[in-house]
């Protein structure tokens, strides 16, 4: 995730401490830290831009996943809609219920694939998407407001 460079010792220690070495948690927390903009590229390792804020490293996997989804902008809404459709969903079905045109929808899906939250098999309009992990789907689903949840379910029905 750092292009072959190491994390600063302070960051690495906090990640190890907070994740208890649970692989999906380590991966998500590391991605959250890298995507947060707290690090710059040094010669052999990432360098902190300043003191590491106390809340910079999420304390739960749910927090780490939620932070990553929140940083995705409009792609978060596509992840939420996909989460309602299921762990795996075809592009054609998502397109039928999404309130977006093809170009922005495909851009948001590409963002989710690049962030490694979704896997893609095939190309739109025949593409099929799958959440990398059930916890990602669950977090996206749970992040929906009740009004958005209800409206999305009605569109799908």
- Specify the higher pLDDT residue, 57 or 154: 154
* Nearest in space to 58 (alpha carbons), one of 27, 93, 88: 27
Which regions of the chain does DSSP assign to beta strands (E)? 39-41, 46-48, 88-90, 118-121, 128-131
| Average pLDDT of every residue of the chain | 86
Q: Assign 153 a pLDDT band (cuts: 50, 70, 90).
A: confident
The predicted model gives 110-136 an average pLDDT of 95
Q: Give the pLDDT confidence score for residue 147 in this predicted structure.
A: 66
Q: Report the distance separating Cα 133 and Cα 144, nearest Å.
A: 18
**Is the confidence at residue 108, as pLDDT, over 90?**
yes
Condensed to tens digits (0 to 9), the pLDDT of residues 21-76 reads: 788 888 887 887 777 777 777 667 777 777 766 656 677 888 888 888 998 999 99
Q: Give the pLDDT confidence score for residue 54 in this predicted structure.
A: 61
In order of 7, 93, 155, the CA distances from 53 in angstroms are 16, 42, 41
- Specify the higher pLDDT residue, 87 or 10: 87
Q: Report the distance separating Cα 7 and Cα 41, nearest Å.
A: 10
**Is the confidence at residue 103, as pLDDT, over 90?**
yes
The predicted model gives 95-123 an average pLDDT of 96
Q: Give the pLDDT confidence score for residue 56 in this predicted structure.
A: 63
């Amino acid at each position: 995730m750092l292009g072959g460079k190491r994390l600063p010792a302070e960051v690495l220690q906090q990640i190890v401490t907070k994740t208890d070495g649970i692989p999906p948690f380590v991966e998500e927390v590391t991605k959250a830290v890298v995507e947060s903009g707290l690090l710059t590229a040094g010669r052999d390792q990432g360098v902190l831009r300043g003191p590491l804020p106390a809340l910079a490293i999420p304390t739960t996997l749910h927090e780490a996943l939620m932070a990553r989804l929140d940083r995705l902008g409009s792609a978060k809404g596509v992840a939420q809609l996909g989460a309602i459709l299921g762990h795996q969903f075809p592009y054609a079905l998502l397109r039928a219920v999404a309130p977006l045109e093809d170009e922005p929808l495909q851009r948001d899906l590409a963002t989710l694939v690049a962030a490694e939250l979704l896997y893609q098999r095939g190309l739109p309009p025949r593409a099929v998407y799958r959440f990398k992990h059930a916890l990602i789907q669950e977090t996206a689903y749970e992040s929906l407001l009740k009004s958005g949840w209800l409206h999305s379910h009605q569109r799908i029905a």
